[in-house]
Structure 1
């Protein structure tokens, strides 16, 4: 990547950083990406996939496999705390996970493809909406247009604070935990606070469920038996001294390494809730949100990324344990060989979703050339 190209992409990244949009609301970001891809000579640009998703197709000269590179469009509902001159201009929203940087690296791939098409097959650049809620990848894949661009391989990355700047970690097999948000509603009957016996209070069921659900956690090692239940929110009745409560709400995040273990954990959690409700004469409702299936890397795709890192002298380590946090990238493994790699943001860099997080611009050329090398290995013809 030339110094001029790096400067251009850096300025673009910082401008995208100024205007983060939340999951499902990425209209302006999507429109801007479409305009940039048009200028970069994409053969086809598909819009509206799974909401505001975009796919840009770059055709090779002969038939061959389809290789996709995926990034994310959305920001977070977090107020940024920063003194940089490109701080978020959208109050309460911030690009505090690095999706601005991920987009720019994929646009860097588009710049290279404008100069050098693949020798065969095609490259599809995916700009996916709503990753943060776990809804975007599934909606993207379920779009009618997706069948026309269905990839054989999909590669992605996520920057990772705590890992040396510019170094790579890869995991063969499970790479990200499955997780889901479980919302429990307990419904009884209110009564005057002077006569609680005439109502049906969910207070005791709620207080008992908190430790019982937390006790579903098992194992410290990130293996097939790992499970973690994290209580994130609880609410009981109204803010008044005159009414004994008639309703309670409890939110808990369930997390496992495998989807099979998640299904068992969900069944165990639901049984605890229903038993607690029945014991106290309560009705209960259980719903789920922010559902992420496990992300599993394919060995062939992992080997491809290892070779790409070696080609460019990027330090790369194969690790045994997945990341605890979740990613909806796993949806793309349904029908394709996929792999996500972790690109170090620095040992002391602010954590993802911290209010002072900012994507390190030094990663732009590194991620771009790893993606380009991955494409080159499968399709040929592509150069940085």
Structure 2
């Protein structure tokens, strides 16, 4: 029988990008069936997998979520299970999160809980903020009366195995905007016969920079990060006629983000109109703010205490986007963190590797949370 460690190493060696996790999904379904799980749903949304495990008595329903997708990063590690796919690797630890869920499934088979229903959700396309929305919109969850949702993420820079908890806001609202400006090309000697977007791009950059407020304790916290600018070719006789600029924006609250987004759209439209350019705007990779409910936060903290794990009470939210925010927007729930080592390489770094020792810690946390909610 496959161990959770072997499970992780297999997924790590065979990474797949968001929306393309076909082989990962098939492997997970196969391994779940081997341990005796029969209620498995797949094919409802990208390559996501949903497992249903029922107790013998009526009780609450809890959903636990993990992720499947890897990143477009070349791995620099040389261990035996390193990525076998050029330019793609698990540098956020989703391989470990999935392995933790698999170990949790094993524990539920080994020591079944009597009451309620447990849903294990292996989510496709978390990294691009698309998987949660697609799964929820598929209607797969409407057949269940979900009482709680839980998830975790590993965090380098914190003590190995420490449980990070926070009531309320855990991660911010994040979304990316791509603005395409279309003018008219001309000869470089006669730029006035064309419409060059360069000055509009410069004005947009200055404007978006003016919106930054990186005071993390402020309710007006807002970060506008330039990501890419595409303009022209190395054709020095031609004045460029179009450009694309991409930014990622983040703030603490969904409502504040919506107001800022409208403000940005109006100002960019004003600038492009002034420069006689056509504008096309596209908003992508949406991550809702992740709000931990008080009751779910307490369940996590009590589970950590019962398991004698170190607890770190966070004073501030993390600043990255997390697709689980759409679940805590729709259902009562919470996300927690598990430290993956003080000296560990950061997430999305080419040398990062999920620590195997976290698999049992995370699965034990999930089992303890489930036991508290369902058996009490």
TM range (shorter): over 0.9
Following superposition, the deviation at residue 223 of structure 1 comes to 4.1
State the partner residue of 2:26.
31
What is residue 310 of structure 2 aligned with on the other side? Answer: 315
Aligned partners of 1:223 and 1:122: how far apart in 2? 40
After the TM superposition, which residues 123-272 of structure 1 pair with which residues of structure 2 at under 5 Å, given as runs?
123-272=118-267
> 1:232 deviation in Å?
0.8
**For 1:282, which of 262, 277, 282 is the aligned residue?**
277
CA contact (8 A) 1:79 1:91 kept: yes
Return the offset for 1:119: 1.6
3-state SS of 1:175 partner:
strand
Alignment of 1:121 with 2:116, yes or no, is: yes
Matches within 5 A, 1:61-100: 61-100=56-95
TM-score by length of 1: 0.95
Greater shift after overlay, 372-381 or 242-251?
A: 372-381
| Residue in 2 that maps onto 1:377 | 372
Deviations 1:40-99 (A, max 9, x none): 222411112321111111101111110111100111111111111111001111011101
**TM-score, normalised with respect to structure 2:** 0.97
Tell me, yes or no, if the aligned pair for 2:291 and 2:329 is still in contact at 8 Å: no
Question: What is residue 10 of structure 2 aligned with on the other side?
Answer: 15
CA contact (8 A) 2:62 2:117 kept: yes
Aligned mates of 2:371, 2:319 — CA distance in 1 = 31
CA distance in 2, matches of 1:49, 1:347: 39
Q: Secondary structure at the match of 1:290?
A: strand
Task: Find out whether 1:354 has 2:324 as its counterpart.
Answer: no
In structure 1, the gaps of 5 or more residues are none
Change (3 A) 1:20 1:190: same
Asked if 2 retains the 8 angstrom alpha-carbon contact of 1:50 and 1:137, the reply is no
CA–CA distance in structure 2, aligned partners of residues 286 and 52 of structure 1: 29
Number of the residue aligned with 2:37? 42
RMSD of aligned C-alpha atoms?
1.4
Query: Where does residue 111 of structure 1 map in the other structure?
Result: 106
Equivalent residues, number: 376
Q: Which moved more, 1:75-84 or 1:115-124?
A: 115-124
